[in-house]
Amino acid sequence: MTAAFDFEFTAIDGEPLPLKQFEGHPLLVVNVASRCQLTPQYEGLQKLWTDYRDRGLIVLGVPSNQFWQEPQKELEIAAFCRVTYAVTFPMTEKTHVRGGKAHPFYKWMRDQLGSAAKPNWNFHKLLTGRSGEPRAAFKPNIEPGDAKLRAAIERAL
């Protein structure tokens, strides 16, 4: 049976980013963009990372330009996130998150959770459990501090 930990991304610095390294940890995977009205959610995602990383949560930012709001190159994205929002959680290189070219992780999550797992905009959130099983999907307008998202994270922990 496939689990989230069976997939691999490329990190924002170009190095391999196998999700296997996070085995045993819940994952909150979020497609992000630096020129979106929702970009301030980076602050809340960093807070989730700070609040929950010692308990095991991994927040993973996945930059995507599929909604035309992440035109920058990886080094520029990393610098923007670090300087503007003090982001320290792991991030991937720019990645397709929907359609035929979607990263296999996103296709798998959609197959498991249905249309709720298909990003319809930036800052769509996907949560897996400690065993790598799909747990929930949250639409972009659900802020990182939202009680329903935090409750789902608590259950996954």
Q: What is the pLDDT of residue 79?
A: 95
β-bridge pairing 16-18 and 27-32: unpaired
Q: Give 17's strand partners.
A: 9
- Torsion, CA 103, CA 29, CA 142, CA 111, rounded to 10: 50
Q: What is the pLDDT of residue 16?
A: 97
List of domains in the chain: 34-156 (3.40.30.10)
Q: What is the pLDDT of residue 73?
A: 94
Catalytic annotation, pick one of 3, 11, 36, 116: 36
Which residues in the chain come in under a pLDDT of 70? none
29: left (phi over 0), alpha (psi -120 to 50) or beta: beta
Q: What is the pLDDT of residue 84?
A: 96
Q: Give 1's strand partners.
A: none
Annotation marks residue 81 as catalytic = no
DSSP helix, strand, coil percent of the chain (3-state; round to 5): 35, 20, 45
Note the pTM of the prediction, 2 decimals.
0.96
